[in-house]
Chain A
Amino acid sequence: MITVTINDKEIKLEKAVTVLEAARSAGITIPTLCYHEQLERYGGCRLCLVEVEKMPRLQTACTLMVADGMVVRTETEQIADVRRGILEFLLINHPLDCPYCDKAGECTLQDLVEKYGPGKGRFKEKKRKVPESLQDPVIVRNMERCIMCTRCVRMCEGPQGASAIAVINRGGHSHIEPFSGGRFDCEYCGNCVSVCPVGAIMSRLHRHSYRPWQVKEQYETVCPYCGVGCTVITQVRDDVIKRVIPKLGSSVNNGMLCSRGRFGYEFVGDNDRLTTPLIRKNGVLAEATWEEAITLVAKKLSEIKIASGSEAIAGIASPRCTNEDNYVFQKFMRAVIGSNNIDTTARTGYAGAQSFIENIFGQGATANIISGLANSDTVMVIGGDPTTVNPILGLQIRACARRGGNVLTIGDFAGLSKFSPKKLLPGKYTETILLEAIVTALREKKGLSGSNGPLESKIKDISVTAADAAAKCGVPEQQLSAFVDLLAGAATYSLVIGKEIVQSTGGSYKLLLLAAINYLANGRIYMLTEKANEQGALDMGCAPDLLPGYRPVAFPEFAKKYGAQWHAEISEKPGLNLFAMIDAAENGSLKAMYVMGENAVCNIPNSGRVEKALKNLDFLVVQDIFLTETAKLADVVLPALAWAEKGGTFTNMERRIQLVRKSVQREGLEDWKIIAEIAKNMGYGMEYVSSEGVFHEIAKVSPLYRDLTYEDIGKGENIYPYKGEPLRDVKEDIQVDTASAVASAGKLYLQIERPLFHSGTLSTRAASLRNIYPQAVARISSATAKALSLTEGDVVNVRTKAGSLSLFVAIDKDGDSSAVAISNNFERKGAFRLADYALDQVTKAPCIDAVEISIEKVTA
């Protein structure tokens, strides 16, 4: 126990901390500029100087560690004098443009000068002049205001790990610049904006549009983009989100955000938002009233149900909608329509992969805490760049590397390349044999513990020598054995699996091999998830074979039990999955579809075919916030409220359930409410008063959430398995699909680019993200560019069996020379327009890694 006295207050401490932290723990404020709790100590601004008895000079409280018996004073005349002096120096160059500066009102410098003075400076010289930099789409840099605390640089080099900015020049001329001197061209996380104590680095989105004190309301909510589910705070003025900031101390993201989370909120107030229902009349979508639209939907669905049966109707739920929306939707499909034809785009990877892993290791096997990655001593990454798919999870892997952990990757991931990963780069389609060799070597090193019979019986069948693998996949034996040594030596091992593995030919077999590695190295599995509530949609039973809480619909007792609670008869016949729905729509056996919050055309591979299939339906209802390319095909379009306009819950990839709070008021209906209205019109009562009411029912119906309330969720830290009962583990024999593909030399293959700045098509509705990443491009390696004599910006036609697109060329100097990478974020220009697929027989995920693509220059 250490006892220190600060300002005559005795403070007892368990362990040695800095004087500043000790003071703060006792509620004593010491002014600081360069100190930030997320950053390394710097001791540069000298504002935290304090008097310590028996020490000759003033000491910086932020770097001085407490010692037993230390007596500290933080506010004396001498200290005030020194602080005034330091501030006077800072004001030599800092302009007095507070009336014009956006930071005024939350500026640390302004507050300190108000407290300590000086009222007037003595310097007669002119202040330095640096023009404000508006060269960047989202960040404004005003270097006259910079006080060189270097918080932004330490943030960028430290927690963010992007190292995009640095201090340039020396002494009075020094300032902060990105490499280019103008545009940042960085990861655009904006975490430098968060930590800037003055108005030197600021967001351009809300420039000159409000004052901090005009923010009357702010709400703690969950970011709408990826499966990490960062805690964000929305600051609102007059029902417009002015700013989204991260929450310090949140267990998910602790003060960090990525570009999508911080700058991607503008879609909420976008002018293109749907405002009224639309009904197709004479081939054209025309505005209609809610009453017309709802009655029409109810009437048409009832007619089709009578004429063609319940199974002629299908629904697609949404990984962007809340748990409540998804629950009500699946209940509507099951209890009102009477069909299990319900699925989501989680079927394109996450759903099948997760159930495959859970079938081996038990339910909840992928529910691992993201921050645990930073504390792992070994992290292996395969199948996607975590720093772009789930950026905040990516930061945890960078943190692991910074702490001296081993980052192992199979494949090359740009976001981790600066962190000295140990890379294995197998040739195209040879990952399987490489993984087999790793399993073989690891088994020989570690042996089998006998705790998982079905998996071990599979592991025993695998035998590939390193030499064999080296010959086939081009990874030198030595590299492979060094890699295996690191896996075998890992005390705390984590495995991060991206979608590319799941969506590859023989994906389920690769997953088995990864599970085997994970089992032998005794690790945890993280599965990257692209959308905010993919997990939640599955938990809610938006799957053709599973009821809420993963109870199989095919077990009569579950169908009966849920049916009794819903006062309806539930079919025991599993419904059509996402891909079967498209097939059925194409062949005419499916008559009607209800799509909620999903741009199905864009987000299901082979978009051209999906589009044709949906056109073939007798009746299509699309409920969305924008007139997406899917909505344009609909017979009825229902406008929904967006993420910030409604309450509810999201469940992230850790299976942490979190409250989404309403931030802005907008006229309209929540997704669940629209569906409840239609149900009522079809003669089925759904009387929920609020999303909380819906959740109340979920907690009663789904054994996963037994007795969970909004109040519990609001307190945070609701992690799987909550208070619920996961289903007993059913260890079936493990089935795999061992399909394989062979690369032909000189051929190009389609690759899905998963950019940091976009997520689905939603982010393309946010102006600032569009400014950073404006349009779809065909990304090729410099070798390919040379071979085809293409230069950056050329227009090309890319063609596959499934379709063709005309795109601009972008050249990636380190790119894979057998790949043409195209993102799937821009409507009508998405990679899925080109992606024909075969389904993995086990995970039912589409394999889209074997799409041959040709590329040719369009001559004007």
Chain B
Amino acid sequence: MFSSAAIQEIEDIRAKYPNARAALLPAIYVAQREFGWLPPEAYEAVADLLNVPKATVRGVATFYAMYKQKPMGRHLIQLCTNVSCMILGAERLVDLLKSAYGVEPGGVSPDGRFSLVIMECIGACGTAPAMLVNDDFHENLTEKNLQEILEKYK
């Protein structure tokens, strides 16, 4: 179930739109944050709160790649491997993530701490390689500072 803060947040979102369906995308995003991913209960919770059919909620969510359809680690690493990042060693960072934390692209580390998703360009080519951890942006990554940064995410 949702926390009362999340319920309030979704109700605030709802108030900004002319109808409940229009509020689905941001509301599902709140649900994903609350549940970590989108299990059936998350859809049901959104459906109940917005009075939108649950099948419709699921249909909308599955259209978009950034809604997570399977369990995720506690923290989501989204690492770019496009041209600039690749040239500056992003692929070595992928290897490092695997050896240090046991997490492969698209997977979850065995301890459930990290999920890794390979991103297309996140617009940080000038400061490549770059990644997002949850909502935080990190740039000028090296094999050294990557682990330091990730230590902050337990």
Residues on A lying within 8 angstroms of B by beta carbon are 157, 163-170, 177-180, 418, 420
Min distance, Cβ B23 to any Cβ of chain A, angstroms: 16
Q: A418 CA to B52 CA in the complex, in Å?
A: 8
Cβ of A179: which chain B residues have Cβ within 8 Å of it?
Answer: 40, 43, 54-55, 58
Cβ of B53: which chain A residues have Cβ within 8 Å of it?
Answer: 157, 163-164, 166, 418
- Residue in B43, B51, B54, B63 whose CB lies within 8 Å of A170: B63
Q: Are A163 and B56 in contact (CB under 8 A)?
A: yes
Q: Are B62 and A169 in contact (CB under 8 A)?
A: yes
Min distance, Cβ B58 to any Cβ of chain A, angstroms: 6
Min distance, Cβ A403 to any Cβ of chain B, angstroms: 16
Q: Does any Cβ of A come within 8 Å of B110's Cβ? A: no
- Residue in A168, A418, A420 whose CB lies within 8 Å of B58: A168
0 or 1 for each of B32-76: is its CB under 8 Å from A? (1 = yes): 000000001001000000010111101110111000000000000
Q: Are B55 and A164 in contact (CB under 8 A)?
A: yes
What 9 new A-B contacts, CB under 8 Å, besides A170-B62, A170-B63, A180-B40?
A163-B53, A166-B53, A166-B60, A168-B58, A169-B63, A170-B64, A177-B55, A177-B59, A418-B53
Determine the main DSSP class of B at the interface with A: helix
A–B complex contacts, Cβ < 8 Å, 26 sampled: A157-B53, A157-B56, A163-B53, A164-B53, A164-B55, A165-B55, A166-B55, A166-B56, A166-B59, A166-B60, A167-B59, A167-B63, A168-B58, A168-B59, A168-B62, A170-B62, A170-B64, A177-B55, A177-B58, A179-B43, A179-B54, A179-B55, A180-B40, A418-B51, A418-B53, A420-B51
Residues on B lying within 8 angstroms of A by beta carbon are 40, 43, 51, 53-56, 58-60, 62-64
For the complex of A and B, 3 pairs with smallest distance between CB atoms: A166-B59, A163-B53, A166-B55
Min distance, Cβ A788 to any Cβ of chain B, angstroms: 23
Min distance, Cβ B96 to any Cβ of chain A, angstroms: 32
Complex: chain B residue closest to A166, CB-CB? B59
Min distance, Cβ B46 to any Cβ of chain A, angstroms: 12
Q: A165 CA to B55 CA in the complex, in Å?
A: 6
Complex: chain B residue closest to A165, CB-CB? B55
Complex: chain A residue closest to B59, CB-CB? A166
Min distance, Cβ B45 to any Cβ of chain A, angstroms: 13
Min distance, Cβ A156 to any Cβ of chain B, angstroms: 8
Min distance, Cβ A178 to any Cβ of chain B, angstroms: 6
Q: Are A166 and B58 in contact (CB under 8 A)?
A: yes
Min distance, Cβ B49 to any Cβ of chain A, angstroms: 13
Min distance, Cβ A843 to any Cβ of chain B, angstroms: 37
Min distance, Cβ B61 to any Cβ of chain A, angstroms: 9
Complex: chain A residue closest to B54, CB-CB? A179
Cβ of A180: which chain B residues have Cβ within 8 Å of it?
Answer: 40
Complex: chain A residue closest to B47, CB-CB? A179
- Residue in B55, B63, B64 whose CB lies within 8 Å of A163: B55
Q: A168 CA to B53 CA in the complex, in Å?
A: 14
Min distance, Cβ B97 to any Cβ of chain A, angstroms: 28
Min distance, Cβ B133 to any Cβ of chain A, angstroms: 26
Q: A163 CA to B54 CA in the complex, in Å?
A: 8
Q: A533 CA to B43 CA in the complex, in Å?
A: 43
Complex: chain B residue closest to A419, CB-CB? B51
